[in-house]
Amino acid sequence: MRIHLTETVPRGASARVALLHEGRDPAAGARASVRGALRQAVRSARFRGEDKEVATAGAWTLVGLGRSPASPGRLRAALRRALKDVRKARRTALVLDSGLTADAVRALLPQVAGSDYRFERYKTRSKAKPGKAADREPSEPVVDVVTPPDVDARALAGAADRARAVAQASAWARDLGNTPGNDLGPREFAREAGALSKRRGLRFQALDRPAIEREKMGGLLGVNAGSARPPVFLIGEYAPKGARGTAVLVGKGITFDSGGISLKPAASMGEMKYDMMGAATVFACLAAARDLRLPVRVVALAPVTENMPGGNATRPGDILRMRNGKTVEVDNTDAEGRLILGDALSYAENFRPDVLIDYATLTGAVLIALGSECAGLMSSDERLARELTEAGEATGERVWRLPLWSEYRDNLKSEWADMRNTGGRSAGTINAGVFLNEFVPPGVAWAHVDIAGVAHFEREQGGWPAGATGFGVALTIEFLERRFGAPGSARSARA
């Protein structure tokens, strides 16, 4: 979806939509150029602007935001309602009222740009080929965003291009997440990531099993042991001239998670095709950083495997030796993500990162703790945690920090190895983060983002559609720009 920011409704708009806050006169906050027409539509439809309210009047579709200011979730949900019935229009005018600030408009733009996303390649009426993730180019439909009265459309012109880059990268990640495990194993994931990297002119390398064995990645090899499909370890790199620092992004890539010997319940197992969304996110971030020409070196690392209960599968009680030499007693084979991430975090030392961030659908416990409104955040660095939190608030991809206190390390004690891979039912998300911290290179600012509660939904929720969400791409790009500067910025990476 292409975006054009404007202060008037273009004559060529075949559909007209307005997002309006609740009030006695919902149209009062719109620009003067459209206020009269909107007031007439509001009166005709007896529209009040209440949350979830939708009304039509003539050429207008009116969508309520509720009381001002609307939360990110309310904005996402309202936008989906607004554009749902006009998705086939060649040109749509989207009018926003004064309850939205420039920052709120900027955060909403990637959602507008991605509003035409569909995953229909397995529908018999679709011509898309199964197993091929689309690298989406701007589609023909255009949305003319009529900015609020106090927001300069010209000042946000660059934000439209930025939003499209983020939306396209997110769509690639969503395509991979929505692809079922029979068509997306480790080899197929590597093929898609390699093709994306080639199109963007990025460095790419895929380590096969012998190379993984040479790296002594015992966690990745242990998780893969029960699968007939061999693992891969993927490395992507965007390295612009004059880079102001290095950010290494690590993503969990379990293309299907049965739980291994510690088998998952059948009722929820079908969702486990999404367990590779961390890996998809980091390569999507890599592509977006390249498209936006961010002045920072970005490295994406993705350990990719299935977790299956085959005859050679790792058993509860087995002990694995990780890449950094530490030994781990496998208490539960369904706590596999932290095993492959531990090896990847250790491998990140090769790139001497200024910041190291991992993304993973790691624990069901984070969904119990935080629900579907935000991701869990754990970090050893106060500045990094603060900047990620602020970037989340700016983009609507929120994170909430959980503690990383040393006292939790006792939960991982093992009689037979350096640690166990689980710490009991209590503090499940925190125990996982504490485990990962054992593999972070010394002195590196690190953060762990648990996206298990926001990476996908079985039905529309919190303004997100059913399926993979692409959560994390907008958040990460916002963080990278704030930390290392936007293209053309003179701001120092260490300011």
Residue 354's closest CA among 479, 443, 438? 443
Pairwise CA distance, residues 226 & 311, whole Å: 6
Q: How far apart are CA 158 and CA 5, in angstroms?
A: 10
Angle between helices 72-84 and 102-113 (to 10 degrees): 50
CA-CA distance, 40 to 24, in Å (whole number)? 14
Query: Token pair for residue 3?
Result: 């975006």
**In one letter, which amino acid is 49?**
G
Give the residue from 350, 352, 348, 316 showing the smallest Cα distance to 335: 316
Q: Give the residue numbers marked as catalytic.
A: 264, 338
Q: Which region holds residue 31: left if phi is over 0, alpha if psi is between -120 and 50, else beta?
A: beta
313 backbone dihedrals φ, ψ, rounded to 5°: -60, 150
SS3 annotation, the chain: CEEEEECCCCCCCCEEEEEECCCCCHHHHCCHHHHHHHHHHHHHHCCCCCCCCEEEECCEEEEECCCCCCCHHHHHHHHHHHHHCCCCCCEEEEEECCCCCHHHHHHHHHHHHCCCCCCCCCCCCCCCCCCCCCCCCCCCCEEEEECCCCCCCHHHHHHHHHHHHHHHHHHHHHHHHHCCCCCCCHHHHHHHHHHHHHHHCCEEEEECHHHHHHCCCHHHHHHHCCCCCCCEEEEEEECCCCCCCEEEEEECEEEEECCCCCCCCHHHHHHHHHHHHHHHHHHHHHHHHHHCCCCCEEEEEEEEEEECCCCCCCCCCCEEECCCCCEEECCCCCCCHHHHHHHHHHHHHHHCCCEEEEEECCCCHHHHHHCCCCEEEEECCHHHHHHHHHHHHHHCCCEEECCCCHHHHHHHCCCCCCEECCCCCCCHHHHHHHHHHCCCCCCCEEEEEECCCCCEECCCECCECCEECCCCHHHHHHHHHHHHCCCCCCCCCCC
